[in-house]
Structure 1
Amino acid sequence: MALRMDNVGIVVENLEPVIAFFEELGLELEGRAMVEGEWAGRVTGLGDQRVEIAMMRTPDGHGRLELSRFLDPAVIADHRTAPVNALGYLRVMFSVDDLDETLARLDRHGVQLVSTEVVQYEDVYRLCYVRGPEGILLGLAEPLT
């Protein structure tokens, strides 16, 4: 039985703007490290590897994002422009206290709405999908109750 979800991993080309983006969203940088060597490759199946990681933590301390920049081996695929109905892991959803204010703050990081509008789901949420730096797809939801 699973005890909890520990983190979600996102591979990026450049850590700095992605860290700044998630800090603007309200996550905290928990730490940075270089993960390298044969032992790491045994976990991932990639063999000898060098990966710079940054761990971001949600304000409540329960959720984490592991941002990874692969130095070796090189990245072999790019799914950043996949539509929301593509197979595989695709997006992370964040609950925010004020969706309009959050979108205004994230605008300086080049965030773009996937659709042309924020929508309301019944009397429960205001929702939208956005593309952040490097095309990272996020869902943002403001609870209405």
Structure 2
Amino acid sequence: MLMHPDHVTIVVTDLQESLKFFQLLNFELEVTDLISGEKISKYLQVEDVEADHLTLVLKNSNPRFEIQLLHYRNPTVRSDPSILNLARPGYNHLCFTVDDIQKTLNFLTENGIRARGEILEYQKRKLVYIEGPEYITIELAEWL
């Protein structure tokens, strides 16, 4: 039935900061669109929706993988810092494999991205959480 991930959509309030973050993670902006209208409102189940919709593609990913950034112009959306609490129901984090976790983490911290802790070895991997804009948690994993 399921084959592989296609995309993840993330609602953001600061579109440019979120775009910059994912570009640091090796995503490339492919499509910028403004979505609105009855058909989209019905599909998203958001009344009178108007939103910027950016499609970012992970470079050299096979199969293709996208992050879609959704920035609502209507309705107004606010960031919620409680999303940093990973001990709650629902979406927790997204993890990406890297070749060299320390080198990747150094690059990201030099560019203003904060690690949420120290690198941990667990189940044949080195792992670390990073925090992006909008309180997005991303995990990096280097297979040992």
The TM-score by the shorter chain falls in which range?
0.7 to 0.9
Q: Which residue of 1 aligns with 2:90?
A: 88
| Aligned residue-pair number | 142
Contact 1:21–1:106 under 8 Å retained in 2: no
Aligned partners of 1:49, 1:87: CA distance in 2, in Å?
26
- Which 5+ residue runs of structure 2 have no aligned equivalent? none
**Partner SS, residue 87 of structure 1:** coil
Q: Which residue of 1 aligns with 2:71?
A: 69
Contact 2:84–2:135 under 8 Å retained in 1: no
Aligned partners of 1:84, 1:134: CA distance in 2, in Å?
14
Aligned AA (1:98): D
Aligned partners of 1:98, 1:30: CA distance in 2, in Å?
27
The structural deviation recorded for 1:46 is 0.9
- Which 5+ residue runs of structure 1 have no aligned equivalent? none
Q: Deviations over 1:29-79 (max 9, x none)?
A: 121111111111100111221110111111215211111111101116725
**Partner SS, residue 72 of structure 2:** strand
Aligned partners of 1:30, 1:90: CA distance in 2, in Å?
26
Determine what percentage of the aligned residue pairs are the same residue: 30
Q: Please tell me whether residue 118 in structure 1 is matched to residue 119 in structure 2.
A: yes
CA RMSD, Structure 1 to Structure 2 (Å): 1.9
Q: Which moved more, 1:34-43 or 1:99-108?
A: 99-108
The structural deviation recorded for 1:5 is 2.7
Structure 1 140/83 Cα, relative in aligned 2: closer, same or farther at 3 Å?
same
Q: Which moved more, 1:71-80 or 1:12-21?
A: 71-80
The structural deviation recorded for 1:133 is 2.0
Aligned partners of 1:87, 1:30: CA distance in 2, in Å?
32
Contact 1:51–1:71 under 8 Å retained in 2: yes
Q: Which residue of 2 aligns with 1:50?
A: 50
Contact 1:80–1:134 under 8 Å retained in 2: no
Q: Deviations over 1:101-138 (max 9, x none)?
A: 211221244322222x101124x211011111232110
Aligned partners of 2:98, 2:136: CA distance in 1, in Å?
17
Q: TM-score by structure 2 length?
A: 0.87
